Amino acid sequence: MHTTIQLTVNNAPCEATVDTRTLLVDFLRDQLDLTGTHLGCATGNCGACTVVLDGLTVKACTVLAADVAGSAVTTIEGWTQDARQSGDLHPIQDAFVKHHALQCGFCTPGMVLSVQQLLKEKPNPTEAEIRHGIAGNLCRCTGYASIVKAVQEIARMSSE
């Protein structure tokens, strides 16, 4: 069964016909070619598919595309475009690069979006709050230390 949905994706209106079984992550990747959102487990555990849905992060493998009609979805592509300041990247991303808070990069877009959510809610998080804030995003490469360091730096910079 198919249905037609209207929604906003990365600030632009979007209308699409989707199979009602289609997950939001597959819709974004396959139909809109927004491949910065990754699929790692399809059980809501790894967080590689994290996107922003109506202002809150969500794992896009746990949402049906048909259910986001009328909503606003922001992916890493749109967020980077919106959020970047002087250069090509947002300061969170700059801090990730500086501290090598990524290796293979597969978890990174989801991780960055979880970090921006965390900093929105807690601009000055403790180390424990940072670790809990990103606990829904698995990283198999970094062991998280460099990510924590990057977030600490960005929090410090924004509080200065």
Distance of closest approach, residue 140 Cβ to other proteins, in angstroms:
5
| Residues 22/61, Cβ–Cβ less than 8 Å | no
Contacts of 65 (CB under 8 A, 6+ apart): 5, 16, 18, 22, 23, 24, 26, 27
Residue 151's Cα: distance from chain center in Å?
Answer: 15
Q: Which of residues 57-76 bind other proteins (CB under 8 A)?
A: 75-76
Choices 9-17, 52-60, 92-100, 116-124; region in contact with other proteins by CB under 8 A: 92-100
Which of 6, 11, 35, 124 lies at the binding interface for other proteins (CB under 8 A)? 35
Which residue from 70, 147, 142 is spatially nearest to 113, judged by alpha carbons? 147
Which of 16, 32, 69, 89 lies at the binding interface for other proteins (CB under 8 A)? 89
Count residues near other proteins (CB under 8 A): 57
| Residues 7/14, Cβ–Cβ less than 8 Å | yes
Distance of closest approach, residue 11 Cβ to other proteins, in angstroms:
16
Distance of closest approach, residue 138 Cβ to other proteins, in angstroms:
5
Contact track, other proteins, 100-139, x by CB under 8 A: x-xxxxxxxx--x-----------------xxx-xxxxxx
Longest CA pairwise span in the chain (Å): 54
How far apart are alpha carbons 144 and 151 in whole angstroms? 11
Beta bridge partners of 91: none
Our finding on whether 80 is near other proteins (CB under 8 A) is yes
Instruction: Enumerate binding residues for other proteins (CB under 8 A).
Output: 19, 21, 26, 29, 33, 35-43, 45-46, 48, 75-77, 80, 88-89, 93, 96-100, 102-109, 112, 130-132, 134-149
